[in-house]
């Protein structure tokens, strides 16, 4: 089949999409749809790829693969963070292989063309007289740093609303001072499911009964409104409302914004942010809700700051707490598999074994990730079955629908 024919088929599935229902199966499982997703979404949007503490020192770098691209992110001697394509300007060799490391100059392993940390070509052997090295700098990738969260955009024409998004969320994020934290733990897991199913699963809590550890501290009403609450959730809802009333006072006292901003499918850089109370002791994502790290972040003096949660299209979500931060990024590997990276950050001066214990810090989300991995694999297997027909999103799943609306809009823009 020609590329344009494939596009027509996928375009047909997008065109006939019924609002309020899940997507057609081939949009989740076909390699052609993944190609389209990469083109429409991952090569054009701002993609969350790293946190500043991934590169704590001058000379540190990380590499990240986004579809067919590989990107190098570096911190230079002036502490500036930059991104380049991981492609030599001589004959295109990949430059860096490792996920992270530390370097002075970037030396191509093939014929040793040598670039400085700003991407300038410093040295190339056997060049003819008059060879202009300045024409062969590494190709830059657009990068933004929002309170220590690193985003790249592979397009030369990045979405223009990103800076406005950044200025709206910065008052929420900045008080946690992510750039002053350190990585306590980071794990990559491969989900046996399409990236959209990983994202959809994250956008609702109607499956949260499958997360007993998370529900120790998270109220199981994420995405619910009063009218959605049945007898099963009524006690939790009442507890949530009582906690919220007290919590708003805590936020006000600490000068922390908490009100929800919800623009998941009404803008190019779709996002949702809100600070909400936690259950039990109300301090952190632990089994009894008490702190996972004794050293609070920034200059916080109160542990009960709840969870500042931010959900972003297309590929990320975050929880900022008083004692740690946990970030999640999703990148497609194939139509059937996705990489989920989870990073836990604690205060830079928190001492492992004294102030925090990695197992306690990571337990709830390790369990939750594992449970979600099973849900995603199950969903992927089901939507790949020829008997699958798109089903209805229910009211507490409105953020799943917002994700699909946002996705469909992006694909329509390029078809
Ligand atoms: O991580 C999240 O933000 C959401 C909250 C509940 C379901 N999901 C795990
Ligand atoms: Fe990099 Fe030749 S391809 S030096």
pTM for the complete prediction? 0.97
Residues with beta carbon inside 6 Å of ligand 1? 202, 205, 208, 222, 309, 317
Query: What ipTM was assigned to the predicted interfaces of this complex?
Result: 0.94
Whether cis (ω within 30° of 0) applies to the bond prior to 64 is no
Q: What is the pLDDT of residue 141?
A: 98
As a whole number of angstroms, the distance between CA 243 and CA 298 comes to: 24
Is the minimum distance from the CB of 244 to ligand 2 under 6 angstroms? no
> What percent of the chain has pLDDT above 70?
99
Q: What is the pLDDT of residues 241-259, one digit of tens each?
A: 999 999 999 999 999 999 9
Phi, psi of 317 (to 5 degrees): -150, 160
Determine the Cα angle at 246 with ends 241 and 248, to 5°.
95
For the CA of 91, the nearest atom of ligand 2 = 3
State the burial class of residue 17 (Cβ atoms within 10 Å of its Cβ: 0-12, 13-18, 19+): buried
Q: What is the pLDDT of residue 234?
A: 96
Closest CA to 274 of 258, 290, 298: 258
Is the minimum distance from the CB of 136 to ligand 2 under 6 angstroms? no
For the CA of 112, the nearest atom of ligand 2 = 4
Is the minimum distance from the CB of 294 to ligand 2 under 6 angstroms? no
Domain(s) labelled CATH 3.90.380.10 in the chain stretch across 159-414
Closest residue by Cα to atom 1, ligand 1, is 202
Confirm or reject CATH 2.102.10.10 for domain 57-144, answering yes or no: yes
For the CA of 108, the nearest atom of ligand 2 = 1
Beta strands in 139-284 (DSSP E): 142-146, 149-153, 181-191, 261-263, 271-276
- Residue 330, both tokens: 């999703």
Residues 6+ apart with CB under 8 A from 144: 46, 150, 151, 153, 162, 163, 166
For the CA of 111, the nearest atom of ligand 2 = 4
Cα within 13 Å of Cα(376), Cβ side: 31
Confirm or reject CATH 3.40.50.300 for domain 159-414, answering yes or no: no
Q: What is the pLDDT of residue 374?
A: 98
Residues 6+ apart with CB under 8 A from 186: 341, 342, 343, 344
Q: What is the pLDDT of residue 5?
A: 64
Q: What is the pLDDT of residue 199?
A: 98
Kindly list the distances between the CA atom of residue 136 and the CA atoms of 77, 113, 141, 152, in Å, as whole numbers in the listed order. 21, 10, 15, 22
Domain(s) labelled CATH 2.102.10.10 in the chain stretch across 57-144
Quick one: average pLDDT of 267-293?
Answer: 97
Which of 222, 264, 326, when mutated, tests ligand 1's pocket best, judged by the most ligand atoms within 8 Å of its CB? 222
The answer on pLDDT for 168 being more than 90 is: yes
């Amino acid at each position: 089949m020609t590329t344009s024919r494939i596009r027509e088929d996928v375009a047909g599935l997008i065109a006939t999409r019924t609002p309020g229902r899940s997507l057609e199966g081939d949009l989740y499982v076909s390699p052609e749809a993944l190609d389209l997703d990469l083109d429409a979404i991952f090569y054009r949007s701002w993609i969350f790829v790293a946190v500043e503490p991934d590169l704590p020192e001058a000379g540190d770098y990380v590499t990240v693969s986004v579809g067919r691209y590989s990107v190098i992110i570096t911190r230079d001697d002036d502490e500036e963070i930059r991104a380049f394509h991981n492609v030599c300007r001589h004959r295109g060799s990949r430059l860096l292989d490792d996920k992270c490391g530390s370097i002075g100059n970037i030396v191509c392993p093939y014929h040793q063309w040598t670039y400085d940390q700003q991407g300038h070509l410093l040295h190339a052997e056997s060049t003819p007289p008059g060879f202009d090295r300045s024409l062969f700098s590494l190709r830059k990738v657009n990068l933004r740093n929002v309170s220590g969260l690193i985003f790249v955009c592979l397009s030369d024409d990045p979405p223009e609303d990103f800076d406005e998004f950044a200025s709206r969320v910065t008052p929420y994020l900045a008080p946690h001072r992510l750039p002053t934290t350190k990585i306590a733990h980071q794990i990559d897991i491969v989900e046996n499911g399409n990236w959209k199913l990983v994202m959809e699963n994250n956008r609702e809590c109607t499956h949260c009964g499958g997360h007993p550890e998370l529900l120790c501290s998270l109220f199981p009403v994420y995405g619910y409104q009063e009218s959605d609450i049945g007898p099963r959730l009524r006690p939790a809802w009442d507890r949530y409302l009582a906690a919220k009333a007290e919590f708003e006072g805590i936020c006000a006292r600490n000068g922390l914004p908490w009100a929800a901003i919800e623009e998941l499918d009404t803008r190019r850089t779709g996002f949702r942010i809100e600070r909400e109370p936690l259950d039990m002791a109300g301090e952190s994502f632990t089994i009894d809700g008490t702190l996972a790290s004794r050293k609070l972040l920034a200059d916080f003096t109160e542990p009960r700051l709840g969870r500042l949660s931010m959900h972003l299209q297309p590929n990320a979500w975050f929880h900022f707490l008083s004692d740690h931060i946990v970030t999640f990024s999703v990148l497609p590997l194939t139509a059937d598999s996705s990489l989920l990276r989870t990073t836990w950050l604690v205060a830079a001066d928190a001492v492992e074994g004294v102030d925090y214990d990695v197992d306690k810090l990571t337990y709830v989300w390790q369990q939750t990730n594992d449970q979600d991995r099973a849900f995603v694999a199950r969903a992927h297997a089901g939507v790949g079955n020829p008997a699958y027909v798109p089903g209805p999103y229910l009211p507490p799943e409105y953020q799943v629908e917002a994700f699909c609306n946002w996705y469909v809009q992006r694909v329509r823009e390029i078809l």
